[in-house]
Amino acid sequence: MSPAASSLPIILVPVGVDEDALDACLAALDAGTPAGSRVWLADDAQAGPRATAIIEAWLKHTPLQGAHTRRAASIGEAAHLDEALRACGNADVAILASDARPAPGWLQELAACLARDPTIATATPWSNAGEAASWPRVGEIAGLEEAPSRLARACVQLPARHPDLPAAVGHAVLVRGSARVRAGGLDPSSYRSWYAALIDLSLRLSGLGWRNALCETAFVLRDGEGAPADGDMDRLSVRWPAWHARLANFLMGDPLHAVRAQLGARLAELDRGSPQQDLFAPAP
């Protein structure tokens, strides 16, 4: 493993049931992540025989430092992720949905986001299905035909200001290990889904003085948003009665509208540059 890769966060991919999406996720990881980066595929007894074969083939050929674990029986999404995060100790961990496709440079940009501001506990990249972090329109799922490399090149041209989000979003999020430990980790006794457990963790981190920030210099594609388990949103409402109003006000007010417009402008400007630029990888 190169020194540069060893300094990057651990990537944790909770394996899902969609084999084609997992295959695409692993291919995007290989294409957009520095060789030698640590990737843990954690399976809560979800993968079928085809997905297991995909993982085994990937482990043989990936330039990344991959590892795969599988539980004999499922303990639930939030509990499984809490178990995996606790195994990582104080390390910063980038949790990537197994149906997401990170654009080149995503991990370096997320790590740089945390490094720029020690008060940032979670860094969430743009996504076409990222709720508060969605692009090109807030709160909408958009089908994008843009190449991931072009999205990455446009993102890194944005000023790195890292505005606040109401909470981190589950398509991809880098969690500062020391902040997570201080907040007590996830709460799988209250929530079954990663979707709700991440919101709860984000709000507890915010209450302790940390920030949940947008990493506007990174992009991760996804075909759909995450979803809560039955009863999770009711429990969120009891613990955090102001949450739904806070999220609704953010979506309606769209304080990131200007930043979204800047990203669109940067993407359009790529077409006015040299046609040879698409032959090169985006700047780190």
Taking only the tens place, the pLDDT of each residue in 85-106 is: 999 999 999 999 999 999 999 9
Of 152, 122, 139, 86, nearest in space to 257 by CA: 139
Q: What is the pLDDT of residues 197-215, one digit of tens each?
A: 999 999 999 999 999 999 9
- Residues 94 and 219: their CA atoms lie apart, in Å, by 13
Q: Which amino acid is at 242?
A: A
Confidence check: pLDDT of 18 > 90: yes
Average pLDDT along the chain: 94
Confidence check: pLDDT of 170 > 60: yes
Confidence check: pLDDT of 222 > 80: yes
Please report the pLDDT score of residue 273 as a whole number: 58
| Residue 158 contacts residue 262 (beta carbons within 8 Å) | yes
Q: What is the pLDDT of residues 116-126, one digit of tens each?
A: 999 999 999 99
Confidence check: pLDDT of 280 > 70: no
Q: What is the pLDDT of residues 69-86, one digit of tens each?
A: 999 999 999 999 999 999
Confidence check: pLDDT of 279 > 50: no
Tell me the average pLDDT across 223-229.
95
First to last CA, the chain: 19
- The string of DSSP letters for the chain reads --HHHHTSPEEEEE--S-HHHHHHHHHHHHHHS-TT-EEEEEESS---HHHHHHHHHHHHH-SSEEEEEE-SS---HHHHHHHHHHHTTT--EEEE-TTEEEPTTHHHHHHHHHHH-TTEEEEEEEBTT-GGGBSSSTT------S-HHHHHHHHTTS-----B-SS--TTEEEE-HHHHHHHT---TTT-SSHHHHHHHHHHHHHHTT-EEEEEEEEEEEESS---PPTTHHHHHHHH-TTHHHHHHHHHHH-TTHHHHHHHHHHHHHHTTS-GGGGGSPPP-
What predicted TM-score, i.e. pTM, was given to this entire model? 0.93
Please report the pLDDT score of residue 276 as a whole number: 47
Indicate the pLDDT class of residue 4, thresholds 50, 70 and 90.
Answer: low
Please report the pLDDT score of residue 284 as a whole number: 40
Of 116, 113, 137, 114, nearest in space to 127 by CA: 137
Indicate the pLDDT class of residue 261, thresholds 50, 70 and 90.
Answer: very high
Q: Which residue has the higher pLDDT, 281 or 77?
A: 77
